[in-house]
Structures are given as C-alpha cells and as structure tokens.
Structure 1
Amino acid sequence: MTLPSLRQLQYLVALHAHQHFGRAADACNVTQSTLSAGLKELEMVLGVRLVERTRRVIVFTATGLGVVRRAEDLLQQARDLSAVRHIGPEPLAGAIRLSITPTVAPFLLPRILGSIRRTYPALEFVVHEEVSQAGFAGLSSGARDCMILARRDDGGDFEYGALFEDPIMVAMRSDDPIAQRSSIRPEDLSSDRLFLPHEVGGLLDSARLAGHRLDDGPKAAPSASIHTLVQLVNAGMGAMLLPQMAVESGVTAGTEVVTRPLAGPPARRVIALAWRRNSPLREGFTRLAGKIRELYQGPPLVAAA
C-alpha cells in the first residue's frame, strides 16, 4: 500500500492555511510547481479529489477539509516525535517556548524565573507574551511548547497542571464612594464605569462562575494593559477588576487606588500550565507545574493594598 508522505500533507495544510498556491509554496520553501505536483500525487495516493482549482479561487472539497484536519494532527505528532531526540535523562533541559498571557506575565515571572533557573540550570525559557487565543494556536501548531494562562474549561487537545488560585478584586480610587465599603456588590459596578483588562474572559467569567452578576458591556479599553488601566482608575475614570497577584506585585503602589473583594462567593481565576496531551515533554511540564506551585506559596512581593 502506498502511503501519503508527511511532505505531501504539509503542502495540503499550507495551502489550506494560505488559500494561495504561491504563498503556500513560499511557506514550504518549495516552488509552486513542486507544491502543485505534490498535491496531485497526494490525491492519486488517496484516490479522492481534495482541492478544486480555478483561476481565481481555491475550494477544498468536504473530503479535502477532513483530510486537512487529519493531516494537521499527523504533522503535530511527527513534530512531537522529532522532539524526542532532545529529551535526555533530565526532562527540563534545553529551550522551552513558553506562551504566557499579559494578565499573568508581569506579575508571575519575576516571582519564579530566578528560582527555576537555579533549580534547572540547563533549562532556557523562550518567552512569548501573548493573548490566550494566540497561545493556543501556537500550542496546536507546535510553535509553542507550553503556556501559562487563566484556565478556562475548554478541554480540547491540551492537558493542564493547576498552579494556584488568583482572587479577583475591585480596584477604585480611595475617594470613590463605594471604596468606603468592606466589599463591593456586583450591582455597584455598572458597565459605564467598569474597566476590564485585555483578557476579559478570564476575569469576567471567574466572577460569574462565583455567582456574581456583572454587566455585559464593560467600559471599552480593549488593548490597554493592567498597568495602564490602573492609571485610568487613579485618574478617577472608573473602577476595574484586578487580579490579586497584580496587587501583590505593587501595581497600585504610588497611586490613590485601593482594592476591595467582591461581596458574596469569592471570585477567583485558576492559573494553570497547559501543554499538548501527546507532548513528549509531558513529564517535564508536570514537574515544572509542581515547582511553580511550590514557589508561588511563598510570601507576596508587596503587601496587598
């Protein structure tokens, strides 16, 4: 039986990603004629039409789309298999491409990186700070090895190691009328005065899951960082949901911003380390998650406001 080659599958996946023969060929570092010939050979091996070619558009058949999904899985498994050669007796060694979300990175990394490097001197992190959607895409494609994020219950092809829980606080100026309360009721947070960091879902979903009801239309600042939003709050422009880990890192230091918990059931997010289920580095990531848990149990960097 003649089997399709990984190279042929790579051509198919690239064409689906780029929807253009020339760009797909460039991505595969081959000529357009080589890519086209490889796709025709793939169709001959499988005995089915995968792509309908016209002068202006590329249309994948229903069978072709199914083959693309299977090809993506096979190519990822091949990349994982190739990574086995880098695994020695120490599973945490070499370069690890780490994705980490912006609402976690500046508050967690200073707390753990030094100790991790001392514990695993042969380990090198290549850090990519990016939103979770980009991180998951990188994990799926093999461009990232693992990811630290506020976990959601999306399951999928990823495995998680829970690191710690991060309470969600409400931040406002000290002269804000609601700042006089020991806790803030959700009904006090109207959408016209509530800021949320870029990774809205992790914070807002955490509050909702804890039984709180917050408005669906938080004040717009879609690309602002937590540090920037704190300054907006300090200027009296509204309130915000703020992770406790950011408070502990001193993000409100030197401002008139104070924090209060939400009234009712605690609102919190779960920070987790994620990796592909079939990753050959699974043992190392499990060990890394345990080390991060251990490190984060230490005293906070700065006392909470």
Structure 2
Amino acid sequence: MTSLRLFLQVARTCSFSETARAANLSQPALSRTIKLLEEDLGVRLFDRNSRNVMLTTAGAALVPIVERLTADFDLAFRELDQTFSGERGRVVVGALPSIAADFLPRAIARFLAERRQVEVIVRENLSGGLLQNLQDRSIDLSITIPPGGTAPIRFEPMFEDEYLLVCRPEDLELIPDPAPWRVFEQFPFIAMEPRSSVRMMTESVFAAAGIRTDARFECVQLATVGGLIGEGLGISLLPRSTLPLMAIGKQIAWRKTEAPMASRTIGMCTLADRTLAPAAEAFRQLVLAMAVDTKF
C-alpha cells in the first residue's frame, strides 16, 4: 500500500523531488520504489526526462484504481480502529424479564448516547436459559442471579433485589407492616411458574419461615400475576424489580416482610475464559457503574 500511495502522490504532483520531500524519502529511494512497482505490474507508469514527469496511458488508468483502493483501505482501518476502541461493534446482552423491562433500557440509552455506532441486541430469558445462552456464546453477557453448578462463569454482584408481599391497595389495611409470614397462609397465593428463579426462591423462603401454602395460580408472565392480584384473587411474593411489569391498569401495593427477609442478588455473568469484544466490555463496565446507584 505504501508504494501505491507514493505512486499516487507522484501522479498528482508530477514531481519525484516534491514527493520525496513530502514522504521524507531520498529521491533515489522513491525512484526504486516506483521502479519495483512498475516491474510488479509489468508496465511503465511514468515517462520522464530531466524536466518533466508525465503519466503513461497505463499510469493514468491506474490512478482511479489506486484512489479507490487507498480510500477503501483507510475506511476499513478507521472502522477497525473504532471497533478496537469500542466505538463500533455489536453487544448481545441477556437479562431476566424484570431487569430487561426497567434497568436495562436505561443502561442501553446511556451507552448508545456515547456510542451511537454500536448495535445492542437484547435477549430476555429465565435464569436457566440465560446460563445456556452464555455457554453457547449466543450472548456476550447476562444480567441475572448467581449461576449454580461448576460452569466457568464469572459473576459480579450488582445489587440486592428484595422480595415483597404484593397485594391490592385495599388489602393493606388487613396486612400488618411489616407483613408476618403467616399472611401467606391466610390469602390465596399467586405464584410464578415452577421453573422460574422467582418461584424457586419463593419456595425456599417459605420453607425457611415454616410456611405451607399451595399456589392458587401459576403464571408465566408477571403481567398476569398483576392482573390476578388487581382483581382480588390473591397475593404474591415477588422481587421489587418486578413491580413495574405488573402495573397494567390494575392498582397494586406492597408490604415488606418480617424477618427472615428475603432478597435475590442480581449481577453480571460472563464466561470466565472469554475475552469480551471492546464494545461489550465497555457496556459491561457502564452497567456495573450504573448498578452502584440503582434503587428499585
């Protein structure tokens, strides 16, 4: 590429001496470079004498080609530099539905305000699905609960997501503050589906508190839980981060619970043996920084 750039400069200035000075080369070195280029191409590029340098027909035909080549080369390296610096690229982030609905959009908006040429793709899933996506490398990182098992996954805690009793506003007068655990035996219980991390935590907390309650409804979507609660069909125990997903035209309220209080840790999961692309690493750092001040 250097020899082509030198050829182009000579073609524009019609001067070996001027091009040599601009390129900080000796004139004999420049002449050798052009001669080698002519030998490689098998054509003469310049006609010259003691006074003039002129393009040959072959040289004139080569000029627009070299202009395109050098422009494409420069553009490619500018884009590559932006990729290496995290200004371009793609980030595929997985998240629990409750995180994808509130915290994650705020993080993406702040990230894209500074890095407009980065493409961000969101994959919502339950904790088990996110773990599998991460191991399959179909996502770069995930915002979820701590992974179980022995998979080589790095987990960086971000914040605690406390569990709350969720009910209708008119039920609050019947429920002390903080809510005793026995309340869950007095009202119909609305649960998430059995395979969800929320349901597993709920059952663990009930066991620790010595509570036995059967789910009247089992829901896949948090909006369904909110709708059932709003119609007075029961109460639930849910992380604080899920509350925005239930306010769909129905009024809901909440109470903190008595000890033992429950919470889940939300954090950033990445593969321990994978180096993130610069854009993904920049997004990871921004999310971790935002989490310090996050309150639900």
TM-score bracket, shorter-length normalisation? 0.5 to 0.7
Q: Secondary structure at the match of 2:98?
A: coil
In structure 2, relative to structure 1, the CA distance for the partners of 1:279 and 1:213 (3 Å cut) is farther
Deviation at 1:207, TM superposition (A): 7.6
In structure 2, relative to structure 1, the CA distance for the partners of 1:186 and 1:92 (3 Å cut) is farther
Summarize the alignment of residues 58-137 of structure 1 with structure 2, pairs less than 5 Å apart.
Answer: 88-91=83-86, 93-137=88-132
In structure 2, relative to structure 1, the CA distance for the partners of 1:250 and 1:216 (3 Å cut) is closer
Are 1:228 and 2:224 matched, yes or no?
Answer: yes
Alignment RMSD (CA, Å): 3.4
Bigger Cα Rg: 2
Q: Identity of aligned pairs, percent?
A: 15
Q: Secondary structure at the match of 1:265?
A: coil
Deviation at 1:209, TM superposition (A): 6.2
Q: Which of 197, 202, 211 is the matching residue for 1:201?
A: 197
Are 1:143 and 2:138 matched, yes or no?
Answer: yes
Are 1:240 and 2:236 matched, yes or no?
Answer: yes
Deviation at 1:283, TM superposition (A): 7.5
CA deviation vs aligned residue, 1:40-80 (integer Å, no higher than 9, x gap): xxxxxxxxxxxxxxxxxxxxxxxxxxxxxxxxxxxxxxxxx
Are 1:165 and 2:160 matched, yes or no?
Answer: yes
Are 1:271 and 2:266 matched, yes or no?
Answer: yes
Alpha-carbon contact 1:164-1:293 (below 8 Å) kept = no
CA deviation vs aligned residue, 1:174-213 (integer Å, no higher than 9, x gap): 2327743112222321397222334633464278469544
Match for 1:132: what amino acid? S
Rounded to whole Å, the distance in 1 between the matches of 2:121 and 2:185 is 40
Bigger share in helix: 2
Match for 1:219: what amino acid? R
Rounded to whole Å, the distance in 2 between the matches of 1:125 and 1:250 is 22
Rounded to whole Å, the distance in 1 between the matches of 2:287 and 2:267 is 10
Residue equivalent to 2:215: 218
Range with bigger deviation, 263-272 or 231-240: 263-272
Size of the aligned set, in residue pairs, is: 215
Range with bigger deviation, 271-280 or 108-117: 108-117
Alpha-carbon contact 2:127-2:197 (below 8 Å) kept = no
Rounded to whole Å, the distance in 2 between the matches of 1:212 and 1:286 is 41
Residue equivalent to 1:257: 252
Q: Which of 179, 186, 198 is the matching residue for 2:181?
A: 186
Deviation at 1:260, TM superposition (A): 0.5
CA deviation vs aligned residue, 1:226-246 (integer Å, no higher than 9, x gap): 122111101011111222123
Q: Secondary structure at the match of 1:103?
A: helix
Rounded to whole Å, the distance in 1 between the matches of 2:215 and 2:147 is 20
Deviation at 1:256, TM superposition (A): 3.4
In structure 2, relative to structure 1, the CA distance for the partners of 1:86 and 1:237 (3 Å cut) is farther
Q: Secondary structure at the match of 1:195?
A: strand
In structure 2, relative to structure 1, the CA distance for the partners of 1:282 and 1:262 (3 Å cut) is farther
Q: Secondary structure at the match of 2:192?
A: coil
Deviation at 1:214, TM superposition (A): 4.5
Alpha-carbon contact 1:150-1:270 (below 8 Å) kept = yes
In structure 2, relative to structure 1, the CA distance for the partners of 1:162 and 1:148 (3 Å cut) is same
Deviation at 1:274, TM superposition (A): 1.0
Deviation at 1:136, TM superposition (A): 1.7
In structure 2, relative to structure 1, the CA distance for the partners of 1:155 and 1:164 (3 Å cut) is farther
Deviation at 1:295, TM superposition (A): 2.5
Q: With structure 1 as the length reference, what TM-score do the two structures score?
A: 0.59
